[in-house]
Structure 1
Amino acid sequence: MSEVKSSNEDFQAVTPSKATRRDFLQASLAIAGTAAVSSVATTPPAVAQTKQKRPNLVFFFGEGQRADALSIAGHPILKTPNHDRIGREGVRFTNAFCTNALCAPARATALTGMYSRSTGALDNTKGRIPLASDIPLFTEILQKEGYEVAILGKVHTRNGVEERNWDYYFGHNNPSNDYANPLFKEGRRGKVGPQKQYEAVYPDDLTTDRAISWIDEDRGDKPFCVLIWFVAPHEPFFRPRRHADLYNGTPIAKPVTFDDDLKGYPGKPKSFVAAENKLGTTSSHVACGSLEGVAKDYYAGLVAVDENIGRVLDHLEKKKILDDTAILHSSDHGYFLGEWRLFDKRLMHEPSIRVPFQVRYPKRIPSGTVREEMVLDTDIAPTLLDLAGVPIPAHMQGKSILPLTKKNDPEFRKEWYYEYYEWPNPEKVAPHRGIRTEQYKLIQYVLDPTEGELYDLKKDPGERNNLYGASQFTALQSHLTERLNALRAEIPERKEASQS
């Protein structure tokens, strides 16, 4: 593998002209103070830890876990005591979002702290093409600071990042894997072996087994960073045997917009209506035949995830290193569970883009902290570096959330940019981009510039009353369009041509 660079050296083809890496970083810094790039990107971590033992890091990443799919968030059915422990004993954010609601690009963002537009990892269609080697993963930065790093589970990003120098790799690059007889690749010190199939074992159970074993390895005084990325509850939503009958007889409430299709999807544009991610009417997604079936299987999968999170927390506690370990939990994107009769993600509506985001580390984070500021998946990598006491590189486009654990900051992020690229795709979800502020959301559909959606989220959190094109909101729509275009222009673009 070529050397990973984190200084202002040449960065190939990130803008329409053949810009250098220096140009790329300068372009990134040019938007300091806006929602796109952290205004504290070059600021040292809030609490320097170079003179004391750095914490171990555990990063639990969910698969399609909605922000409300936690009992700590008030879910009426799902019980997640181990997830809840992280938030209850640390900080929990009630307004956390992904910037591209699709597996592979979201995972690239988590690893790099950069938007899809800048990583070039736009969609799920180029799984064999690696992330550009001149974009460092936050784990590689940690390695240079003395950490041992591992990734396990559903990696599913460009080439599974298998070419990077992991101390331990036990992952797969498949969207859903084989739940009954899962497939994994395994490797050490940057060398990953061939794919192997494991019989009659639930993939997340096996991932957790291997993670615990790796945590137990003798590494002297070196801290570790382990990424445990679950595949459940991805379609086809298989359950572990122990939960085969979970939720039998439990009623599933129908979302208020479930029957909007029968009314002609009032207020929704053609691009929204034409999408085929509809429960019960898609031959390519046979597991999504009914609301009740999908919801119960989805919840059962998350119960299994919760059990595996509990296994790791219990193990760290038995080793007496739990409080010496910073734990971050989030998810790649949310999930529709019957809103507008939809399943899956992709669209910029709230069930699809809202994710959990919580961090436990009692040495720096007061327990029971709840914050309402808008945080993004671009903030994951900077936060983990900050927890480790490692300076945050200027090219990262998010910012550490740790200052928010001490006090509220109304100016932390006032607006942010979203873009979904994949086309064509199995659900015929049209490419779109948008801006979300604390009160408003504007969505523009790329294939038909005349179409859009505009919502006042304070008055209409369910996004039912589309204000787009209404004469009384012309000024607001124009302002949001200007801000959307400005944010998009400020995010450096890596051209697809450089990725082939």
Structure 2
Amino acid sequence: MKYSKNKALTFLTMGVAAVSCTSQSAKQEDKRPNILFIMSDDHAYQAISAYGYGLNETPNIDRLAKEGAIFTRACVTNSISAPSRAVLLTGKHSFVNGKVDNVQPFDWDQPNFPKLLQSDGYQTGMIGKIHLDGIPQGFDYSMVLPGQGDYYNPDFLINGERVRKEGYCTDIITDAVLDWLKNKRDPDKPFCLLYHQKAPHREWLPAEKYYKEYTKKTFKEPAILFDDYEGRGTAAKTQEMNILKNQNWAGDSKLYPEVMEKLGIKETSDWGINALKNNLGRMNAEQRAAWDSVYMPINEEFKKIYPTIKSDSAALMRWRYQRYLQDYLACIASVDEGVGKVLDYLKENGLDENTIVVYTSDQGFYLGEHGWFDKRFMYEESFRTPLLVRYPKEIKEGTRIDKLVQNLDFAPTLLDYAGVEIPDEMQGESFRDLASGKTDQWRDAVYYTYYEYPAIHMVKRHYGIATERYKLIHFYYDIDEWELYDLEKDPHEMHNVYNDPAYAEVREMMHDRLTALRQKYGDSDENDRRFLKEYLEAIKR
């Protein structure tokens, strides 16, 4: 059979096209996933409606739970901001990566997962809050808040250059994320973008649209708002995290100094009045006028009721609790709105199916439980952290995972998804197969450390181990006390059973497990003494 030159050319063209299509198809099948890692600061799991506590509504964050996995026992290795973020990046415990508290410097020269992704072909970006000193390493683009950052008209370090942005911080960060996805991203490369919000960190300054709404709301009090700490030891009794006693009247409750003076209210520290003045001082005239139109009437109303409740500690606690929750949850509303915008962008631009989206916080937070705000303790509300993960290619909709996943596991998990070798020095484990349902085998105990004492909030130094049912904590340095909790019978950790004869075998078992975990991860009393010495020297300077 003879073929004409045109027919031969036609078949050749068809063959090339077929090979090309096959090649493109294979390339598409082998395409590594994008990674969008969203972290907020101090976002309690109780304040995500998917967790079922009924405090507020977070419909956009909830989408990740509906379309992916919600982790109910995710937790941290060290419940304080900078150390938690160092663990996220390095996949190593604080005593290994060196960032044990908010005082010690962070060594950016050590390996971190964005560096490894970057060197393996990923385009990397970091936008928002990192709270680690120095210029971030491992990112093609970084736009980070210096230190804690500011809610209104914040400064950013854009690839190291300081720039002030006009507007509300949460919205600015979201807009920068969208701009990066639209205009700075290389569409031929997989990306890893860290999208980190300052909110809802103290002092909780909401955006105008939400403080106008949330200051009118009333929120349900936790059953243990008036905890007397009788079932616990020295650490719980001597902390300085109580909403009534230790929150700032000006900075936190937003009482104006002139109102405090008129009522004879003394601030808990100079910090409170200075914080309010600095925060409001960053606002432009329009922002300040809008703020005063809502918060001035709150101040005027408090002037009226204060004489009748000033001697009633329960009434004052209730007032301060509502003020706290109104501002805190209003800040979260902006975070949730931003998550929705970014998820919509991914979907509208065909990126949602091949993008792993993680939502988490740097730790948990107290929303009045035990009468507290802040974090630090190994007790559940600050030890546990929200974690939701969406990846349609592997994670089924509506997945619920009750295993003890830690922030220690983020780095190895994301490297696993990207097909990048996990360094031996990383101490976490990939939970990829756990999330996909390929296995239900997982660790049954996790290790925790906390070092920043003496310091604000005065939470004692401690370390401990948690299993699915029990928790053993050792408070040390200026005390030597042990606490043991049965989370099945006592989920709020109100009764220390360490010296209860009925738990003698459990206590011995937990001590053995704790010793084994300390050996596994390389921790010791010598570490504790070394970090204490370095900390005390640093705070003296």
Tell me the TM-score normalized by structure 2: 0.77
1:13-162 maps to which residues of 2 (within 5 A)?
52-126=30-104, 129-131=105-107, 133=109, 135-157=110-132, 159-160=133-134, 162=135
Mark the CA change 1:348 to 1:485 in structure 2 (over 3 Å): closer, same or farther. Answer: same
Rounded to whole Å, the distance in 1 between the matches of 2:146 and 2:464 is: 29
Aligned to 1:236: 203
Alignment of 1:74-473 (within 5 A): 74-126=52-104, 129-131=105-107, 133=109, 135-157=110-132, 159-160=133-134, 162-175=135-148, 177-187=149-159, 192-193=160-161, 195-199=162-166, 201-216=167-182, 217=184, 219-261=186-228, 265-282=229-246, 286-289=250-253, 290-407=320-437, 409-448=439-478, 450-473=480-503
State the Cα distance separating 1:171 from its structure 2 match: 0.3
Aligned-pair CA distance for 1:406: 3.3
Query: Are 2:108 and 2:137, in contact at CA under 8 Å, matched by a contact in 1?
Result: no
Amino acid across the alignment from 1:310: G
Residues 1:243 and 1:357: Cα distance change in structure 2 (over 3 Å): same
Cα contact 1:50–1:389 (8 A) shared by 2: no
Alpha-carbon offset, residue 317 of structure 1? 1.7
Q: Which has the larger radius of gyration?
A: 2
2:439 and 2:32 map into 1 onto residues whose CA distance is 26
Partner of residue 13, structure 1: none
Unaligned 5+ residue runs, structure 1?
Answer: 1-48
Give SS of 1:351's match: helix
Measured in 2, the distance between the counterparts of 1:50 and 1:125 equals: 46
Deviates more, 1:162-171 or 1:448-457: 448-457
Tell me the CA shift for residue 253 of structure 1.
Answer: 2.0
Q: Are the structure 2 counterparts of residues 281 and 54 from structure 1 closer, same or farther at C-alpha, using a change threshold of 3 Å?
A: same
Cα deviations across residues 202-252 of structure 1 (Å, max 9, x unaligned)? 112111111111112252511111000011111110001111222344332
Give per-residue Cα distances to partners, 1:268-317, cap 9 Å, x unaligned.
Answer: 11122111111121265744451111112111111110111111111112
RMSD: 2.3
After TM superposition, the score normalised by the length of structure 1 is 0.83
| CA positional deviation for 1:405 | 2.6
The whole-number CA distance in structure 1 between the counterparts of 2:46 and 2:459 is: 23
1:490 aligns with 2:516: no
Compare 483-492 and 377-386 and name the one that shifted more: 483-492
Letter aligned with residue 232 of structure 2: K
**Counterpart residue type for residue 236 of structure 2:** F
Instruction: Give the Cα–Cα distance (whole angstroms) in 1 for the partners of residues 405 and 32 of structure 2.
Output: 24
Distance 1:259 1:219 in 2: 54
Partner secondary structure for residue 363 of structure 2: coil
Structure 2 CA distance, aligned partners of 1:363 and 1:409? 16
How many residues are aligned here? Answer: 438
- What secondary structure, in the 3-state scheme, does the structure 2 residue paired with 1:365 have? coil
The answer to whether the 8 Å contact 2:252/2:324 transfers is: yes
Q: State the secondary structure of the residue aligned to 1:272.
A: helix
Q: Secondary structure at the match of 2:244?
A: coil
Change (3 A) 1:220 1:230: closer
Question: Contact conserved, 1:114 with 1:398, CA < 8 A, in 2?
Answer: yes
Gaps of 5+ in 2: 1-26, 254-319
More deviation in 482-491 or 404-413? 404-413
Cα offset, 1:448, TM superposition: 4.7
Distance 1:202 1:182 in 2: 8
Change (3 A) 1:220 1:337: closer
Contact 2:47 2:55 in 1 (8 A): no
- How far apart, in 2, do the equivalents of 1:408 and 1:285 lie? 51
Q: CA deviation at 1:324?
A: 1.8
